[in-house]
Amino acid sequence: MDTFKRPSRRGFLRGTALAGATLATPTFFTRGAWAQEKFCNAPQGANVVLGFNVPQTGPYADEGADELRAYQLAVKHLNGEGDGGMMNTLKPSSLTGKGILGKKVTFVTGDTQTKSDAARASARRMIEKDGAIMFSGGSSSGVAIAQQSLAQEIGVVFMCGLTHSNDTTGKDKRRYGFRHFFNAYMSGEALGPVLADVLGTDRRAYHLTADYTWGWTQEESIKNATEALGWETAQTVRTPLGAGDFSQYLTPVLNSGADVLILNHYGNDMVNSLTQAVQFGMRDKQVNGKQFEVVVPLYSELMAEGAGEAVKGIFGTSNWDWKLTDPGSQAFAKSFGQEYGRPPSQAAHTCYVQTLLYANACEVAGTFYPPEVIKALEGFEFDGMGNGPTLYRADDHQCFKDVLVVRGNMDPSSQFDLLEVYKVVPRDQVTYDASIFGGELGPYEVAGCAA
């Protein structure tokens, strides 16, 4: 026993390597488990699962909560419960009110935390564990783009919720990602002429921009649109997402010689920066012999609610407003109001519409097989969803429809009546060539989701 012969270090290493290789063998059994016709999460049984991945915490949590309400309403309507909302106004419609392709719609939810990592983890849980056939959600373009990439890799369709960056359907577009919401370029095209009209053509603008993909593209789009009208850009300053206190960014504005402040902020960030700008008395100042103005290019009712008095008279753009009078908008606002006792926000609207459009595409395709569903959505021309005639362009999966220029209501009649529609900019004026933003959609067939 004393002469225990120890193995050489080399022999030991070799043994360890061998053991490692042996342990790795199970990998060979899991390859090629999916045949062509058995696609990722093909619904089995009587139910089909949708995944709703929204920010439940973080700077966009308010939007996320409203999106979730809309998704739940959409599922209800798809299953034939409630008054049907925009199911009744969508044209052309293949929806039946009996679920999707006869299968009852169920759903799972997740929290993106407005973080790309967390969003993808939560999306993978919904896909790998809960078997979601489609996932959807929004409120940050960075997160939407990250999830859209995941959708392409894993082979499950992602219907973007609220995302406004040009990149989502521009340089980062994906075959498995679709966006109904409008984008920063459209905001610039719609808002520019109105600003020139109301504020004049010899203004100097100062941009405060949320430091991520959405902020960057919106700053670029608004800058291009206003400079084309004769404005100058004094300075553009990036602020971190979720900064909370913007006073250090606001103090230099008045000394810069600018007479317009453009806030490329969204969610709580916009609530904070706008409120602080107003508290600093900026809107009472005279600069260059002109009244100092604040512009918020992307507006929402929830933000207006948060900012309260500060939004009065401030211009911006919006994808949709609950006070629109077309039948689709009316039906949706009514049904949402009955369910939750409050009017829907534009975030809720786009999420609801996306869910219905996906369901409709499945019905049109007659299958859940993603490539076929994608083809049914591409180039789909529809009406009755609150935005007038709308096209889902095949080249970049972007919807083209009218854009609203809105203004903070000077004399609100209720706590929800905070924005007034100043002008409806027709679809032709905001349509652009898909090639200007580059990007590539990628293939229809992806051998994605493994066992």
Partner 1 sequence: MDTTPQNNTPQTTAPQTTAPAEPQRSAHYHHSTDLPTQLPPRGPDMRPLWPPKVDILMTVLFAVAVFTMPIWLQPFGAAYPDLMQRFAIFGIFAIGFNILFGLTGYLSFGHAAFLGVGSYAAVWSFKLLSLNIVPAILLSIGIAGLFALAIGYVSLRRSGIYFAILTLAFAQMCYNLAYSVLTPITNGETGLRVLRDDPRVLDALVTGTSEVAVPRASFFGIEMSGMTGFWTCAVCLLIAFYIALRITRSPFGMMLRGIKSNQTRMNYIGFNTRPYTLVAFVVSGMYAGLAGALLAVVDPLAGAERMQWTASGEVVLMTILGGAGTLLGPFLGAVLIKYFENIFSALSDSTLFQAFSFLPDTAREVVVTIVSPFVGEGWHLTLGVLFMLVVIFLPGGLTEGFRRIARALRGGSGKKESSQ
Instruction: Using the CB atoms, write b or e for 198-223: b if 16+ within 10 Å.
Output: ebeeebbbbbbbbebbbbbbbbbbbb
Q: How far apart are CA 374 and CA 358, in angstroms?
A: 9
Nearest to 430 by CA among 394, 391, 374: 391
Span interacting with partner 1, options 76-84, 118-126, 353-361, 428-436, rule CB under 8 A: 118-126
Query: What CA–CA distances, in Å, run from 299 to 292, 296, 314, 357, 358?
Result: 19, 6, 10, 24, 26
Q: Does 109 bind partner 1 (CB under 8 A)?
A: yes
Q: Does 1 bind partner 1 (CB under 8 A)?
A: no
Query: What CA–CA distances, in Å, run from 256 to 77, 251, 259, 260?
Result: 53, 10, 9, 11
Nearer to partner 1, 157 or 190 (CB): 157
Nearer to partner 1, 269 or 363 (CB): 269
Structure tokens at 294: 């604040």
CB of 122 to partner 1, least distance (A): 8
Nearer to partner 1, 192 or 371 (CB): 371
Q: At what angle do helices 346-365 and 370-377 cross, to 10 degrees?
A: 120
**Per-position x/- string for 19-48, each x denoting binding to partner 1 as judged by CB under 8 A, each - no binding:** -x--xx-xx--xx-----------------
Q: Does 18 bind partner 1 (CB under 8 A)?
A: no
Q: How far apart are CA 225 and CA 222, in angstroms?
A: 5
Query: What CA–CA distances, in Å, run from 285 to 133, 281, 294, 362?
Result: 54, 7, 11, 55
**Per-position x/- string for 137-176, each x denoting binding to partner 1 as judged by CB under 8 A, each - no binding:** ---xxx--xx--xx-xxx----------------------
Identify the burial level of 3 via C-beta atoms within 10 angstroms of its C-beta, where 0-12 means exposed, 13-18 middle and 19 or more buried. Answer: exposed
Which residues lie closer than 8 Å to 12 by C-beta, 6 or more apart? none
Nearer to partner 1, 175 or 407 (CB): 175
**Per-position x/- string for 281-310, each x denoting binding to partner 1 as judged by CB under 8 A, each - no binding:** ------------------------------
CB of 132 to partner 1, least distance (A): 12
Identify the burial level of 176 via C-beta atoms within 10 angstroms of its C-beta, where 0-12 means exposed, 13-18 middle and 19 or more buried. Answer: buried
Span interacting with partner 1, options 2-10, 313-321, 375-383, 389-397, rule CB under 8 A: 2-10
Span interacting with partner 1, options 95-103, 135-143, 200-208, 281-289, rule CB under 8 A: 135-143
Span interacting with partner 1, options 235-243, 323-331, 339-347, 428-436, rule CB under 8 A: 235-243
Span interacting with partner 1, options 17-25, 64-72, 178-186, 246-254, rule CB under 8 A: 17-25
CB of 18 to partner 1, least distance (A): 13
Q: How far apart are CA 368 and CA 447, in angstroms?
A: 16
- Among residues 69, 103, 120, 180, the one that binds partner 1 under rule CB under 8 A: 120
Q: Does 177 bind partner 1 (CB under 8 A)?
A: no
Number of other CB atoms surrounding residue 153 within 10 Å: 15
Query: What CA–CA distances, in Å, run from 249 to 60, 253, 261?
Result: 21, 7, 11
- Among residues 308, 389, 412, 442, the one that binds partner 1 under rule CB under 8 A: 442
Q: How far apart are CA 320 and CA 439, in angstroms?
A: 27
DSSP element (H, E) containing 210: strand 204-210
Structure tokens at 398: 């972007």
Q: At what angle do helices 184-199 and 213-228 cross, to 10 degrees?
A: 40
Q: Does 10 bind partner 1 (CB under 8 A)?
A: no
CB of 126 to partner 1, least distance (A): 9
Nearest to 75 by CA among 346, 354, 399, 382: 354
- Among residues 53, 56, 139, 390, the one that binds partner 1 under rule CB under 8 A: 56
What is the DSSP code (8-state) at residue 273? Answer: H
- Among residues 7, 97, 102, 281, the one that binds partner 1 under rule CB under 8 A: 7
CB of 238 to partner 1, least distance (A): 7
Nearer to partner 1, 85 or 448 (CB): 448
CB of 331 to partner 1, least distance (A): 27
Q: Does 217 bind partner 1 (CB under 8 A)?
A: no
Structure tokens at 379: 């180039």
CB of 192 to partner 1, least distance (A): 27
* Contacts to partner 1 by CB under 8 A: 2, 4, 6-7, 9, 12, 16, 20, 23-24, 26-27, 30-31, 56-57, 108-111, 115-118, 120-121, 124-125, 128-129, 140-142, 145-146, 149-150, 152-154, 211-213, 238, 240-241, 440, 442-443, 446, 448-451
